[in-house]
Amino acid sequence: MQTSKWKPSENAVDVSENDISRSEFILRIIQAPSSFITLKNTNTIPKVIIQFWDGNDIPKDVQECIKSWQSLKDNGIKHQIFDSNTARKFIENNLYEENVKAFDRCYHPAMKSDYFRLCYIYCNGGFYVDVDDVYSGLDISTLFSDHRMKLQPLCYDIDTNAMVSPDEFIVSGKATDNRIFYFNNNPIVAPPNHPIIEYALMRSTCLLLESDEDHLPEIQSTTGPGNISASVVAYLADYKDDVMVQHLDIMSKWGEVAKTIWELSYRHDSRNWRLSNGKSYQ
């Protein structure tokens, strides 16, 4: 069975698995004062964009989103798209039997996408982005310029049932009961063998395999943003604030790089995970 090359402290795990303390910790690192750091220009993140769609019947409106990323081939950035079959084959060839079993336990295409991106990035590194995001044309070369993992911060306001703009929460705000701070698992930019990805993959694998076969686990916390957020906290909680920035680059301006398209045909049926969370997928 796969085991992590590092082991977080008991306190770090406790913080990462508690909803309130995890949110407070994430807010703290999001709002940490920026400081000048010197990073080696290691270029350990491969210049490849990875995407996933469950089958080969990609809707035309989704194809248009994908094409926007394929345009980066002219800049020397490769593009790969996987479906369920090719993703499963990748896992078979590069990881363990337990990872294949965990992938098979993913009951919805969004869950397969969540799990596969962890498998691919852990093994090969690169830049994963969802197929419903459209590239703006902004220069993204800096995303590959150092070894740091790069994630997008998010904030959800419970009272208004709405997301809060990064422009608002990145510089101000308190971790109150009505706001949840976390990291999105889209995009994920990281070098291969990154410890946060390793932990996220191990955590989601355990949750999938340990769940009852007649129980469909919640997608967001098992393989999605909840999983990556817990993994970030488990790793960084053992570091001092001035060291954390050397491991994670917070992409507060991701909205300038890409725009999520909400009016897509598949969002109106069971292919939308929000309509299928915890339900058998057909």
Q: Is 269 within a domain?
A: no
Q: Is 36 within a domain?
A: no
Q: What is the pLDDT of residues 158-198, one digit of tens each?
A: 999 999 988 888 876 565 678 999 999 999 999 999 999 99
Predicted model pTM: 0.91
220: three-class secondary structure by DSSP: helix
Q: Is 277 within a domain?
A: no
Q: Is 282 within a domain?
A: no
Residue 126: domain span: 12-31+42-264
The percent of residues in the chain predicted with pLDDT above 70, rounded, is: 85
Count of domains in the chain?
1
Looking at residue 227, which CATH number applies to its domain?
A: 3.90.550
Show the beta-strand stretches assigned E in the chain: 48-52, 78-82, 126-128, 133-135, 149-151, 153-157, 162-163, 179-183, 188-190, 248-250, 258-260
pLDDT band (50, 70, 90) for residue 6: confident
Mean pLDDT across the stretch 8-33?
A: 92
Q: Is 3 within a domain?
A: no
- Mean pLDDT rounded to a whole number for the chain: 88
Q: Is 243 within a domain?
A: yes
Alpha-carbon span 136 to 68, nearest angstrom: 8
Q: What is the pLDDT of residues 207-258, one digit of tens each?
A: 999 988 778 889 999 999 999 999 999 999 988 776 677 889 999 999 999 9
